Amino acid sequence: MNKFIVLVAAALAFSAPLAAQAMDHEHMDHGSHGMADHGNVAHEEVVSGVKATFKIIPWKERQPGMMETHHVMVEFKDAKTGQPLTQGQVLVKIQAPDKSIQTKELMGMQNHFGADFDLSQKGKYGIMSKFKLKDGKEGSAKFWYPVK
């Protein structure tokens, strides 16, 4: 019984840093990622009564082994009231200049949705997004984003 307790304690001790790192993604420093205080707007449009604001922020420092080079984020607000819409599902598909595709579901983070993508090639990226917010509003947006 004592060996079992020691094994469980050791397993928890070794897994705690990994779990903490995974849970802390929302609070990671993406170059000070508060929607209001960083980066330029890559695209903005009103779809189905929802104002969607996209920002693409290059990672200044990457973790070892990290393939992603940019944080893609989108903020949704009710177009009439300006109220943040922070719950729902957001899917982003990115076509690179070489026509390769990356598709990810964006995670809810503070007042936006976001995920990390590899935008390491120079050229134009096609950014396509579909969203279904908790209040039932659905829509899509697409735009080109140049990487120099």
Angle at 59 between CA 20 and CA 86, to 5 degrees: 65
DSSP single-letter state for residue 116:
E
At residue 129, the pLDDT reads 97
pTM greater than 0.85: no
Asked if pLDDT for residue 69 goes beyond 80, the answer is yes
d(CA 42, CA 55): 5
Length of the chain: 148
Strand-pairing partners, residue 56, are: 72
- Sequence letter at residue 111: N
- 62: pLDDT confidence band, cut at 50, 70 and 90? low
* CATH number listed for the domain at residues 31-147: 2.60.40.2480
Average pLDDT on 27-40 reads 47
What's the pLDDT tens digit per position in 71-98? Answer: 999 999 999 999 999 999 999 999 999 9
Average pLDDT on 35-51 reads 81
Are 115 and 107 a contacting pair, CB within 8 Å? Answer: yes
Which tokens sit at 5? Answer: 């307790």
Measured in whole angstroms, how far is the alpha carbon of residue 52 from the centre of its chain? Answer: 14
Strand-pairing partners, residue 75, are: 53
Radius of gyration of the chain (CA): 18
Asked if pLDDT for residue 36 goes beyond 50, the answer is no
Domain ranges of the chain: 31-147
At residue 39, the pLDDT reads 64
Torsion angles phi and psi, residue 145, rounded to 5: -130, 120
Run of H or E residues at 9: helix 2-23
At residue 59, the pLDDT reads 84
